[in-house]
Amino acid sequence: MRNNFYIETYGCQMNVVDSEIVVAVLQKNGFHLTFETQNADIILVNTCSIRENAEQRVRGRIDLFKSFKKNNSKILVCVLGCMSQRLKEALLNDVDFVVGPDAYRNLPFLIENAKNGQKSIDVKLSKTEIYDDILPFRYEENKVSAFVSIMRGCDYMCAYCIVPFVRGRERSRNPQTILQEINELEKQNFKEVTILGQNVDKYNWNNEINFAQLLEKIAVSFPKMRIRFSTSYPSDMTDEVLLTMKNFSNICKSIHLPVQSGNSRVLNLMKRNYTREKYLERIAAIRNILPECSISTDIIAGFCSETDIEHAETISLMKIANFDAAFMFKYSERPNTFAARELKDDISDEIKSKRLTEIIELQNELSLQNNKNDVGKIFEVLIESTSKRSETEFLGRNSQNKAIIFSAPSHKIGDFVNVKILECTSATLKGEIV
């Protein structure tokens, strides 16, 4: 075999980082990345289990790749990541080997087993694996911005969330390895990094360096690079983090702060360790310390036993927080979570859909008004790509992580430019170079 491998990635930013680690591991062991399935001897599918529809998309791809084996029985198909960890042996009926998120170092060995007709599974979760000695291979087309994982796993057990079961316990990387990875990105002329964790605010290296201190180290070490981070947890985001953001212009003024519900009883059922009031205190702190900061969130519609009045509290919290953007979903029960075991999914799909529609419509209004407030302002924008609608226009983002479309005939991807906003939609700003 030629040892050519193809990889597809589904789900969150953390999965992108994992795929980059997988590519690095395989290339180090003599395998060759291909971007065309017809050239692949090994097909890897890196999966997400956060929501049922994410798994359904993956199952469709697995069925397609299984059909390839009818024409070439030597093709190997592997499922990586969260679905592997959740479903384990059940996937072996459809693929040749199954690998969990803490076992990527073993891929070359498992591939050799599969070549010899031996179906394999390695989904043992680790309390120590953080891959901090592996430099991820950035194979995506965008060579402007990159993700850098600073920790793995999660110690919270939110009632609806499957992450602790498929990603394991929380562990933080050595800050020196993080700085080394970002240094390599700067050498490759990347202009922006997003540092990632299931809950970045819980970053803790040997009780010596917390997240705010790590953020400062990165900002000081790489003054010419933009720095973003995700995701924050409301009760863990400190004023120290906000003040660090304020003190460094290269730390982007954008925070993703999932709320999930605006009602304290529902939040308690969700096992979120904050109340409506505590969440709004954090919003007030952000507005006070970083008035120019954008705030995005996650919202779940129709969680177990949620009443119309409690849904209305989510609507009212959205108006108070005045979110710039949101990821909004109907509640989807995930197997083996606390909610699946102990709570009744008793809200009809019709009501969930109605509530979700109300949430989406309100967020569109909030986003549009916030974007209208930006008309006439000038922002520094990092050019990321050409616009999807026009090759004569660029797409970039400002510090607030808002997408901006503009013409820039004398510039190129990776440049920083100043753009004056002339018009907007709820999703996009449009402007001109100044």
- What domains does the chain contain, in order, with CATH numbers? 4-122 (3.40.50.12160), 145-372 (3.80.30.20), 378-433 (2.40.50.140)
Distance, in Å, from the CA atom of 428 to the CA atom of 381, rounded to the nearest integer, reads 13
The number of residues in the chain equals 434
Q: What is the mean pLDDT of residues 269-274?
A: 97
d(CA 186, CA 360): 38
Position 1 scores a pLDDT of 57
C-beta of residue 371 within 8 angstroms of C-beta of residue 426: yes
Q: How confident is the model at residue 101 (pLDDT cuts 50, 70, 90)?
A: very high
pLDDT at position 74 over 80: yes
**Residue 331, token pair as written in the block:** 């509640």
pLDDT for 12: 85
| 172 DSSP assignment | E
Q: What is the mean pLDDT of residues 208-231?
A: 98
pLDDT of res. 141: 79
Kindly state the average pLDDT of the residues 267-286.
98
Q: What is the pLDDT of residue 48?
A: 87
Spatial distance between the Cα atoms of 337 and 161, rounded to a whole number of angstroms: 6
pLDDT at 273: 95
Q: What is the percent of the chain where pLDDT is above 70?
A: 100
Whether a cis peptide bond, with omega within 30° of 0, leads into 275 is no
Mean pLDDT value of segment 347-366: 98
- Rounded to an integer, what distance in angstroms lies between the CA atom of residue 160 and that of residue 255? 23
Average pLDDT over residues 119-146: 92
Among the residue ranges 65-69, 130-134, 172-176, 265-269, the one predicted with the least confidence is 65-69
Work out the number of other CB atoms within 10 angstroms of the CB of residue 174.
15
Residues 115-132, mean pLDDT to the nearest whole number = 93
- Residue 265 makes CB contacts below 8 A (sequence gap 6+) with 310
Over range 272-290, report the average pLDDT. 98
The overall average pLDDT reported for the chain is 95
Q: Which two tokens stand for residue 245?
A: 């953001």
Burial level of 52, CB count in 10 A (0-12/13-18/19+)? exposed
- Identify which has the larger pLDDT, 374 or 165: 374
What is the model's pLDDT at position 362? 98
* Residue where the block lists tokens 């969150």: 12
Residue type, 112: E
75: Cβ contacts below 8 Å, ≥ 6 apart: 40, 41, 42, 43, 65, 68, 69
**What angle (nearest 5°) sits at the alpha carbon of residue 428, between those of residues 426 and 433?**
140
Please state the φ and ψ torsions of residue 404, each to the nearest 5 degrees. -130, 130
Kindly state the average pLDDT of the residues 199-227: 97
The band of 69, judged by pLDDT with boundaries at 50, 70 and 90, is: confident
Highest average pLDDT, of 71-75, 90-94, 318-322, comes from: 318-322
Per the listing, tokens 């009443």 go with 307
* pTM (predicted TM-score): 0.94
Provide the pLDDT for residue 55: 87
